[in-house]
Structure 1
Amino acid sequence: MLAFLLLVFSTLAVFVVAQAVVTVDCGKNSMSVRWTEKNTQLDPSQLRLGDCPPTQVSVTPQGSEAAFYAEFLTCNIRRLVTTNEIKFETEITSPSLSKATPIYYPVGCAYKRQEDWAPPLYDPLLFHIHGQGELAFRMDLMTDDFSGVTTTTTFSLGSMIPVAASVSQQNHQPLILLLDECLASTTPELGPDSHVYPVITNKGCFVDGKNTNSRFLPRNQLSEIRLNVQAFKFATGEDVYLHCSLVAWDPTNLDSGNKACQYDRTNSRWVLVDDPSQSSLCSCCDTNCQGRKKREITAGTTSVTSVIGPLVM
């Protein structure tokens, strides 16, 4: 619990944004946000805190109001850790509306970091272990809520294909799982003449998400990565195989060649999924990304290629 990790926490902040007033109340492990707007053309139910809708809305002739309550690490709230602080950040946004300018307003809570703080995703008994050990990679098609592996292999165009990949790392230093590349092909093996459709390329850039709703999902743990791939027109009606290169990497040593980036279409920029403050690592996604040589982190394999299929769109 954050209550045992933090020395102090912010309580209440009030900001004025154009005609709106934003109030952020930071709790021990959650934030409450209230957006009050005099512009009656704004439908407060359209607002989002991260990817969550308001918990309460009201509209009167005097204006509109949206209230949000979210626990940290839900609703696409990101945790950023610096030398002295732990920050939880997200944005209030709205879709493009005919009578209103789209809204994008960052909100967050900042806390003082204890010197001995370690990410709760790690077992504290394993956090400082740097053992050598075999790594077991896995990639599966999942149910829509990622509660288990699915047996469905046929997808309607435009629907989401849930995919989860993981690496088992017993007796090993903590590693982050990344997808170096994912290509769709009509063959179970890639060859020089294979017909392919790029999903993730350029060492972790989710290029398919530039023009579709494909996206990475928030991590539950660093050793797992989840994504939704929107079913595409490539090879409609034929067998399709998804070829992905899975890489286990030092989470403290991300670079332009080892990263997870997706395109923020609202702001027309690439964003580093695991730490937006380092999104400059994604600036090469539209050109050519080159990373450092792999660190000698294990005597076993640190990358594999996994294939899912056949799928039918």
Structure 2
Amino acid sequence: MVTLLHLDIEVTCLKDSVSITWRISADLVPHAARFFLGNCKPSDFDVLPSGEGELVFRYRLAECKFKRQTKGKHLIFDNELTFRPQQRGNPAAFVHPIQCVTKRSDSWVPQFLNPGAGTSEARGGLLFHMALLNAELTGISQNNLVPLGSFMPIWASVDQESHQPLLLLMEECIAAATPKLFADSQVYPLISNKGCLEESKRGNAVFLPRYHSSSLILYLQADGFGLGQEVYIHCKLVAWDPDHLDKTKKACYYSKENERWELLDSPDKSSICSCCASNCKSRQRRHADTESEGLSSTSVIGPLFIVDQSDPRAQETKTGSISTALYK
């Protein structure tokens, strides 16, 4: 029986590659070909004077089935070192996790942010988008089942085209059981009071750091609303001048760590978020300038199904594609 006598693993993460050195005991040397990084075999192997072996894995992070996810300003790459003495299909005898974290380039954006992604609406020369992203934040979700307690990344964007730089804001967002709202519709407020993310105070929700000013991701935990029924997310999107934020044009969230409302785009100006605790009154229209109110689009994504995976009945939930409706 083969035993692991050493667990000497050194990992060096570079910008777009990784170098791993794994020293193994002498009795494992004849089995060197059964060690893997993901689906990659060692790129180099040496037998040391002591009889021990030294496996080296030098690969790019785009190889060996690394799993990539984006969190804020960082890219996280996960993989596993494994020892598989038995034939393919059998479980590994040994598994060791590998993770590399690199800083995301300021110029990098996911492919789904390219023009034409998702559904959209032209309004006043602008093109608005809204969609549910997958869990890795690498593309638009193809699944409308959302496990209870997991996070729903809701992405919104406006194409600037030839316009001056614009700031995309979510002025109002609610969850409802229908794609259209009526006077007696039951709704669950998510964002209200002209850009205050209410769910960040009573639950777990946050605005993720922006890739650029014209897009925004609402990172919302599926908890407290809509369990076992269809859910539609309704949002009013506003394109605004990034140099003129005020109490009615803002993206504010509640920081439980600092116990206060904070402004996503300019934390030093978080005082404009103080009205989130009361009422953010409408601004005065300035000298009949119709552009001062910005251009807006009301968007709806759904149906989504929030399911409790511990409940066997969750498997009976009807699935389908996610549709998006946009209204003026």
Q: TM-score, normalised by structure 2?
A: 0.54
Secondary structure of the structure 2 residue equivalent to 1:209: helix
1:191 and 2:182 equivalent? yes
Write the mapping of 1:110-149 to structure 2, written as runs, cut at 5 A.
134-149=125-140
Pair 1:161–1:299, CA change in 2 (3 A):
same
Residue by residue over 1:97-140, the C-alpha shift from the partner in whole angstroms, topping out at 9 and shown as x without a partner, is xxxxxxxxxxxxxxxxxxxxxxxxxxxxxxxxxxx961111100
1:255 corresponds in structure 2 to: 246
Residue by residue over 1:255-282, the C-alpha shift from the partner in whole angstroms, topping out at 9 and shown as x without a partner, is 0000000010011100000000000010
Out of 265, 286, 290, the residue aligned to residue 274 of structure 1 is 265
2:215 corresponds in structure 1 to: 224
The answer (yes or no) to whether the contact 2:285–2:292 under 8 Å persists in 1 is: no
Shift of residue 236, structure 1, vs aligned partner:
1.2
Pair 1:172–1:299, CA change in 2 (3 A):
farther
1:265 and 2:264 equivalent? no
Shift of residue 300, structure 1, vs aligned partner:
11
Shift of residue 293, structure 1, vs aligned partner:
4.6
Which whole-Å CA distance do the structure 2 matches of 1:197 and 1:300 have between them?
26
Write the mapping of 1:15-94 to structure 2, written as runs, cut at 5 A.
none
Secondary structure of the structure 1 residue equivalent to 2:142: coil
Unaligned 5+ runs, structure 1: 1-49, 53-67, 75-131
Pair 1:278–1:189, CA change in 2 (3 A):
same
Q: Paired residues, what number?
A: 193
The answer (yes or no) to whether the contact 1:183–1:200 under 8 Å persists in 2 is: yes
Percent identical residues:
46
Residue by residue over 1:164-217, the C-alpha shift from the partner in whole angstroms, topping out at 9 and shown as x without a partner, is 100012111211000000000011111110011011111111110113221100
**RMSD of Structure 2 on Structure 1 (CA):** 2.9
1:304 maps to amino acid: S
Q: Return structure 1 stretches of 4+ with deviation > 4 angstroms.
A: 68-74, 293-301
1:306 and 2:299 equivalent? yes
Shift of residue 305, structure 1, vs aligned partner:
0.5
The answer (yes or no) to whether the contact 1:135–1:300 under 8 Å persists in 2 is: no
Which whole-Å CA distance do the structure 2 matches of 1:301 and 1:243 have between them?
19
1:237 corresponds in structure 2 to: 228
Which whole-Å CA distance do the structure 1 matches of 2:179 and 2:103 have between them?
43
Out of 289, 292, 297, the residue aligned to residue 283 of structure 2 is 292
Out of 180, 183, 200, the residue aligned to residue 191 of structure 2 is 200
Which whole-Å CA distance do the structure 1 matches of 2:143 and 2:279 have between them?
36
2:144 corresponds in structure 1 to: 153
Shift of residue 301, structure 1, vs aligned partner:
7.4
Which whole-Å CA distance do the structure 2 matches of 1:227 and 1:218 have between them?
10
2:114 corresponds in structure 1 to: none
Which whole-Å CA distance do the structure 2 matches of 1:301 and 1:285 have between them?
21
Secondary structure of the structure 1 residue equivalent to 2:276: coil
Q: TM-score, normalised by structure 1?
A: 0.56
The answer (yes or no) to whether the contact 1:133–1:171 under 8 Å persists in 2 is: no
1:95 corresponds in structure 2 to: none
